[in-house]
């Protein structure tokens, strides 16, 4: 199942779960303003999007093009890149399934191997996520299958390409740090996206651990121009941990992205002094970023911004004297 399909199926439910009763309206991941700002912050580096990946070697193709054909091919590449950069959905963790349907004591000890019997509806007209799966235990209890059992059975009868029956060892928490030390954050997220449903416990755990390691190492650029960048920014915004990211953006000279990040912060934390004062004064651009930094820091980022402004003033004064 594609992430786009998963997102649309659970869009309404996720928005309801994310909404909070407050005098301030808190944005959600699927809010159109949030999606637009996150997409703009992701960037579009075609060299990175189409960077060579490990796959079966194929015979290269060469084609002579006119200027018009080349321009059309370039447009097609940009559109393809935009599709590849679509963010996977961020969903609430699914609730555990613990429902007993029946307990037939006459069936107690019915299986000599003491094994569970699993029954699954594999009708083609039912979406595999919605198909009915029940389990008869050796003691006669008939219950709904757990998520672990459902995931295993769905992969047997409706296999997803690249997905394993059991979660790979590399996605276990104790093995992630060695991959992070090698800078393989994007690889870890790619594997998690194939292996797990977006609302599963393992999917959420791996993504959060990866994002927090990136923030700790201050290597946010490793996910820029990938489909995971927006999810990382969203996670840091929800946790109110944008200081390192904001400093990284400013050091990269991306003032527009710094403004977008502050706007997003105001959407998720509308009651902060920065949000209320910026709205009252109607500030934007570098002024918006500076006001936020003066109210919330980090001081290191504010000092960096002030050095940039002084450097810009010196350049303007030099040009004026020419």
Distance CA 5, CA 310 (A): 49
pLDDT higher for 230 or 26?
A: 230
124 is a domain residue: yes
182 is a domain residue: no
pLDDT tens digits, one per residue of 295-321? 887 777 777 777 766 655 543 444 344
pLDDT tens digits, one per residue of 125-147? 888 888 999 999 999 999 999 99
Residues 6+ positions from 194 with CB-CB distance below 8 Å: 160, 161, 162, 163
Q: Is the pLDDT of residue 84 over 50?
A: yes
133 is a domain residue: yes
110 is a domain residue: yes
CA 150 to chain CA centroid, Å, is 24
Strand (E) or helix (H) holding 189? helix 185-195
Q: What is the pLDDT of residue 81?
A: 87
Of the given ranges (76-90, 166-180, 290-304), which has the lowest mean pLDDT?
Answer: 290-304
Query: What proportions of the chain, in percent to the nearest 5, are helix, strand and coil?
Result: 55, 5, 40
282 is a domain residue: no
Q: Is the pLDDT of residue 55 over 80?
A: no
106 is a domain residue: yes
Q: Is the pLDDT of residue 322 over 60?
A: no
Q: Count structural domains, the chain.
A: 1
pLDDT tens digits, one per residue of 29-46? 999 999 999 999 999 888
113 is a domain residue: yes
Distance CA 214, CA 221 (A): 9
Q: What is the pLDDT of residue 16?
A: 41
Which domain range does residue 128 map to? 100-145
267 is a domain residue: no
Residues 6+ positions from 293 with CB-CB distance below 8 Å: 246, 301, 302, 305
Mean pLDDT for 231-241 is 95
How is residue 39 written in tokens?
């997409």
């Amino acid at each position: 199942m594609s992430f786009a399909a998963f997102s649309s199926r659970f869009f309404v439910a996720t928005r309801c779960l994310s909404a909070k009763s407050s005098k301030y309206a808190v944005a959600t991941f699927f809010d159109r303003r949030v999606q637009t700002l996150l997409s703009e912050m992701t960037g579009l580096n075609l060299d990175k999007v189409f960077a060579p990946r490990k796959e079966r070697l194929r015979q290269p193709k060469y084609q002579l093009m006119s200027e018009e054909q080349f321009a059309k091919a370039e447009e097609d590449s940009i559109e393809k890149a935009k599709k590849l950069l679509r963010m996977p959905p961020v969903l609430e963790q699914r609730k555990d399934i613990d429902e007993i349907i029946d307990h037939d004591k006459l069936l107690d000890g019915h299986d000599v191997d003491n094994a569970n019997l699993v029954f699954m509806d594999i009708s083609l007209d039912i979406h595999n996520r919605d198909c009915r799966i029940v389990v008869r235990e050796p003691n006669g209890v008939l219950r709904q299958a757990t998520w672990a059992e459902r995931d295993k059975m769905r992969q047997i009868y409706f296999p997803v390409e690249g997905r394993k029956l059991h979660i790979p060892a590399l996605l276990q928490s104790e093995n992630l740090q060695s991959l992070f030390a090698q800078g393989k954050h994007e690889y870890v997220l790619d594997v998690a996206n194939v292996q797990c449903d977006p609302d599963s416990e393992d999917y959420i755990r791996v993504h959060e651990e990866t994002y927090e390691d990136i923030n700790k190492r201050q290597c946010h650029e490793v996910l820029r121009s990938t489909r995971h960048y927006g999810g990382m920014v969203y996670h840091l915004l929800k946790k109110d941990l944008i200081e390192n990211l904001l400093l990284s953006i400013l050091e990269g000279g991306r003032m527009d992205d710094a403004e977008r990040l502050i706007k997003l912060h105001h959407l998720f934390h509308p009651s902060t002094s920065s949000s209320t004062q910026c709205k009252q004064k109607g500030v934007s651009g570098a002024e918006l970023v500076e006001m936020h930094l003066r109210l919330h820091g980090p001081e290191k980022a504010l000092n960096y911004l002030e050095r940039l402004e002084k450097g810009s003033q010196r350049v303007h004064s030099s040009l004026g004297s020419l």
